[in-house]
Structure 1
Amino acid sequence: MTDLPGKAIHDFHFTDRRKKLFVHDQFGPKVEMPVSYYFRNFKKMPELERVAIDNCLGKVLDIGAAAGSHALELKRRDFDVTALEISPLTCEVMEDRGVPNVICEDFFVFEGQKFDTLLLLMNGIGISSTLKGFSDFLKKADTLLNPEGQIIFDSCDIAYMYEDVPMPVSHYYGEIKTRYEFDRELTEWFRWLYLDSDTMTRIAGESGFRGEIIFEDENDQYLAVLTKIS
């Protein structure tokens, strides 16, 4: 798939071009995703993300690290942090920004290290795509965690998006078709997962993890910490 978010982040960092990045989904008009948002510092992060960073422990893997803002804050706090990102273009940006230990690889094939915290922000858990994919994500995560390790991620209940359209009957309502637009190019459609907290907790339990919601905001977003059930 064409890496349009990577192009947008790369252009923003290395050039003076300020073209807009848009997200399309099944619910209506496209929505702009301000590229500058990927470059925010700790003070400009929403409270949910600040709480997530405050709860990181030990050796951290920042999954889907994008431009590296969270990894840079963890570095500032002297964490041993590794930034994992599938986009070569955003990896170039992170390296130029001074993010340590940048690895350009797909999470689902990455191996060989163990971590105390797996961190996924900006609904990074969406890489799971489907409910089954979330179960697969947890199985993979288990291979990367130290015995007392944790997974920290945010997601949200998007039931409110169906006020004017019928709920799907063939799949879970949080499995959304989406695509990016940048510089008059479009990616192919792909699935991105949004998890309500009850469904998330249930699947986590079935996969051997205890789920705890440690923060919720006014936009139906929540922050979860998952730990392995001993």
Structure 2
Amino acid sequence: MEKLLQQACKEVDSAELFRAKSKIIPVNFEVNRLKSIDISESEGKALRVINKGRIGFSSSTGSEGFDSMVEKAAATSEFGSEASFDFPGKIKRGRKEKKNINIYDGKVANKGIEEMIKVGEGIIEKVKDFNRKLRCDVTIVKDCNEIEYFNSRGGNFSYSKTAIAYSMMVQQIENQDMLMIYSSIESGKDNLELEELTSEIIVNL
């Protein structure tokens, strides 16, 4: 990231670079059976520059080279708004100011697909123990994100974030009547209890 900024500053006066990387894995069950497992990965970059007193911007979510991003940002700065600010420098914090925001759980990041499948199967079995005729759709989703920010004045930060969610839709069909109930729970940590989800469903049946 820092080398990319040095490269950008050969063409513009100052710059900031933001990078976001995401990996989402949903495990889907439909009508009580495993339906699909998907893996979605994405990465994007955003470059904002100040050049000759004006703001320029470019972004990329594909394999576009960084040289092209710099060229586009510099080009848009010719018609950009006047910059009434500068990018923040590096902030020095005292010991008392350093507080960790706990938004990452390694257990979520390392949770395997087989384990996610077992969670989904457990949710379905719990509800079917109440009524074997119920039709259950379940989704277990794991979401992991990495964020990085650097600017040419030394300002920077980075963090990782995790989330896991269980969701369920139940259909109860009697004669020509259909009842559909949906519930979901989500956390940034690996602390979800399937009973919390299933009990809410069962209470409403």
The TM-score, its normalising length taken from structure 2, stands at 0.20
- Please identify which structure carries the higher helix content: 1
Computing the radius of gyration over CA atoms, which structure comes out larger, 1 or 2?
2
More strand by share: 2
- TM-score (norm: length of structure 1): 0.18
